Chain A
Amino acid sequence: MRPPVSLEQAMMFAGILFLVGLVGVITRRNTIFVLLSLEIMLNAAGLAFVLAAARFRSAEGQVMFLFVLAVAAAEVSLGLALVLWLYHHKRTVDIDRARDMRG
């Protein structure tokens, strides 16, 4: 199957997705949304791997994508457990309230 566009445009696509996720992480205060934005970023990174590997018709991009996916899954499970923990202890999911490590 002939790919539709040049590699550069594909990279830009992945990059824009990544940056949107980054903005979300920085700006949102609800921890759920922070985690969602992190997922967006991870997904974008994985996409970048696959799209780049497509240039050389290599399977390694998808291998990397699988690994990224596994990491994302692990991170999500722990992150959500932490969200539950945060809610349990501070009655809020506002990430700015979790400042016990200040100083």
Chain B
Amino acid sequence: MLDLLWIIPALPLAGFMALLLFGGRLGGRTPAAIGCLSVGLAMVASFACAFDFILASPSRPGIERVLFPWFYAAGLAPSFGFYLDGLSLLMIVVITFVGFLIHLYSVDFMAGEEGYSRFFAYMNLFVGSMLILVLADNFLLLYLGWEGVGLCSYLLIGFWYRDPANGRAAVKAFVVTRVGDASLLIGLFLIALSLGTLDIQEAAARSGLLWPRGSAAAVAAALLLLGGAVGKSAQLPLQTWLPDAMAGPTPVSALIHAATMVTAGVYLIGRTHALFTLAPAVLSAVAAVGAATLLLASASALVQRDLKRILAYSTMSQIGYMFCALGVGAWSAAFFHFAIHAFFKALLFLAAGVVIKSLSNEHDIFKMGGLRKSLPSAFWAFLAGACSLSALPFVTAGFYSKDMILSALSASGGVGRWFWAAGLIGAFLTSLYAFRALFIVFSGPGRPWRQRAGFFMGVPLLALGVLSVGAGWLLQAGAGGPLTAGIFGSLPDGSAAGGAEGRLSSLAPPFLSVAGILAAGLLYLVLPRARRALAGRPVLSAVNGFFFSGWGFDRLYDLAFVRPFLWLARVDRADILDVPYRILALFAEAASRMLVLTQSGKVRLYVTAVALGAAVFLGLVVLL
């Protein structure tokens, strides 16, 4: 099976091509069938590859399968090749599995929408691009996948293109991530120039030899790669696009903006960990970015009204946790959390989708309420997801993954203690906002109707719910065994177990998450009037507004970048930079006008010209 590694990205791409060419002509559920089938088969193939890989020999370095060489220029010879090691194996399993479930969900969710086959085509293209991204063995192919997912994100955010607001959100997402992409590209140029290769493993090896620790080249390259990661993963300072990206359909938000694309930055840093370890300052920057973002996002999630925006800020915050973990060298913890987060975040989004759809596209949580009995599947799913998100002790997978990160943070020295503190505050805020959402949406006076989820929407909810709760036990049971060794063996710290820590610090996270749940219950269930009175106070309402706007970043960027640019465009309305080209055109016109004078229509003039030319020519011949 490992020899057929290329089939994993090829299947969704084939699905995309098929839907692109024939989708419009296929009626009913057929486009969905093609979409689900391609991703489903990719999922099966991923499992088969995982089986083969882990069985072969655990914790071994990756295998490489080259399809064909791409080009050869200036000493660089990238190829269409795939590299499978524990890290990319984990990624493809999660991507195809969650992707398949979300495709299944979309069969019912997007039914009756205009552009049904277009949706599945774009989703397939996305899955294919993401798989190329994580399987790529060289930076150029990775960048191809990177750009591909960016494109699909744009296409899918603006899926309902008839509303111009959606288009604007899509453009905003694209432009902001573009800044990151440019940074990444420059970083790749630097790597290619300095190390002379684009192959990832090769570059890692050479960087160890050529770049001394802390050297300018290493710092620059790592910093530029971080810029790219920050853009795609919606971390500070390029985080402004993610909340607006919720304009897309809910399955899109679940797949792209929760489980997979936004984790591309985490994958990038993890894949190039060799380069980052050569620049410890940049690693600290990674953790700092993660810590700052997780605080910012958790605070913002606390005051949002739109259910999907709450989840978007939540995603931002959880990825901040992953960045923190990466920044202190806890690579396995970060990716463990990635997998668990993919499960429960997708679960939360899918449950939210059920709620939103049943209320005819209502996003405001304060207009919901009392849905516990009316949408039981959504309620239990959301409950499971919220518990996992809040890292409810022992019973949820989220607990184990977040615990791993926090213990790694506390185990790291000096500056790490600040990150650990941020992580703790974040944990409290996380359970607070998660259960705030749960209580507001699902509690309260019940509604008279009741709706059950169908097969296509119910099965994903069930599967993800089980995983959100149970995956932690699975991994704890397998810690040190072939499963975890196979998956995390390629990362430096090699194991999924946490480090040693003090009693107090190991008790703090569970205590805080439970405290958050209780606080949410207090504020929103038991004492709603007191809360409203508190929220009305001027200081608190100002803080509320500040958090609501995502700490004012949109306004900041508008003032700092957008307005000057628009002013410049207005000033340059006559396009002064076009003058050289216009001069060329004017010159051509003037020459033409001069030449037209020779076309006087007078035959005698023409004859004279011929005679003159003959005289000159003959003179030249005679004299020379």
Chain A interface residues (CB < 8 Å from chain B)? 22, 25-27, 29, 34, 95-96, 98-103
Contact = CB atoms under 8 A, between A and B. Distances in A.
A101 B601 contact: yes
B608 interface: yes
B36 to A, nearest CB: 68
Q: DSSP class of B's interface residues: helix, strand, loop or mixed?
A: helix
B560 interface: no
B42 to A, nearest CB: 68
Interface of B: 596, 599-604, 607-608, 611
B611 A22 contact: yes
B607 A100 contact: no
B601 A95 contact: no
A98 B601 contact: yes
Contacts of A100: 601
Nearest to A102: B601
20 contacts: A25-B607, A26-B604, A27-B604, A29-B604, A34-B604, A95-B603, A95-B604, A98-B601, A99-B600, A99-B601, A99-B602, A100-B601, A101-B599, A101-B601, A102-B599, A102-B600, A102-B601, A103-B596, A103-B599, A103-B601
Contacts of B607: 22, 25-26
A102 B595 CA distance: 12
Contacts of B596: 103
A22 B614 CA distance: 12
Contacts of B603: 34, 95, 98
A103 B607 CA distance: 17
A26 B600 CA distance: 15
B611 A96 contact: no
Contacts of A101: 599, 601
A102 B596 CA distance: 8
Contacts of B604: 25-27, 29, 34, 95-96
Contacts, number: 32
- Which 8 pairs show the lowest CB-CB distances between chains A and B? A102-B601, A99-B601, A101-B601, A26-B608, A25-B607, A102-B600, A26-B607, A95-B603
A98 B601 CA distance: 7
Nearest to A95: B603
A29 B601 CA distance: 14
A96 B601 CA distance: 8
A27 B596 CA distance: 23
Nearest to B611: A22
A15 B608 CA distance: 17
Contacts of B599: 101-103
A96 B604 CA distance: 8
A68 B578 CA distance: 58
A95 B410 CA distance: 103
Contacts of B608: 26
Nearest to A101: B601
A78 to B, nearest CB: 15
A36 B97 CA distance: 96
Given A95-B602, A95-B603, 12 more contacts: A22-B607, A22-B611, A26-B608, A26-B611, A27-B604, A29-B604, A96-B602, A96-B604, A100-B601, A101-B601, A102-B599, A102-B602
A71 to B, nearest CB: 18
A22 B599 CA distance: 21
B560 to A, nearest CB: 56
A101 B596 CA distance: 11
Contacts of A27: 604
A87 to B, nearest CB: 16
A96 B608 CA distance: 14
Contacts of A26: 604, 607-608, 611
A103 B593 CA distance: 9
A26 B607 CA distance: 6
A26 B602 CA distance: 10
Contacts of A102: 599-602
Contacts of B611: 22, 26
Nearest to A19: B611
A99 B599 CA distance: 10
Contacts of A99: 600-602
Contacts of B601: 98-103
A82 to B, nearest CB: 11
B127 to A, nearest CB: 63
A101 B358 CA distance: 77
A98 B611 CA distance: 21
Contacts of A29: 604
Contacts of B600: 99, 102
A83 B603 CA distance: 14
B604 to A, nearest CB: 6
A100 B601 CA distance: 6
Contacts of A95: 602-604
A29 B604 CA distance: 8
A22 B612 CA distance: 11
A103 B595 CA distance: 9
A70 to B, nearest CB: 23
Nearest to A23: B611
A24 to B, nearest CB: 10
A29 B607 CA distance: 13
Contacts of A103: 596, 599, 601
B600 to A, nearest CB: 5
A40 to B, nearest CB: 14
A58 B599 CA distance: 44
Contacts of B602: 95-96, 99, 102
A29 B611 CA distance: 17
Nearest to A29: B604
Nearest to B612: A26
B615 to A, nearest CB: 10
Question: Which of the listed residues B599, B601, B611 has the most CB atoms from chain A within 10 Å of its own CB?
Answer: B601
A62 B607 CA distance: 28
A36 to B, nearest CB: 14
A95 B602 CA distance: 8
A1 B608 CA distance: 41
Contacts of A25: 604, 607
A50 to B, nearest CB: 22
Nearest to A96: B602
A20 B210 CA distance: 87
A103 B598 CA distance: 8
A101 to B, nearest CB: 5
A52 to B, nearest CB: 17
Nearest to B596: A103
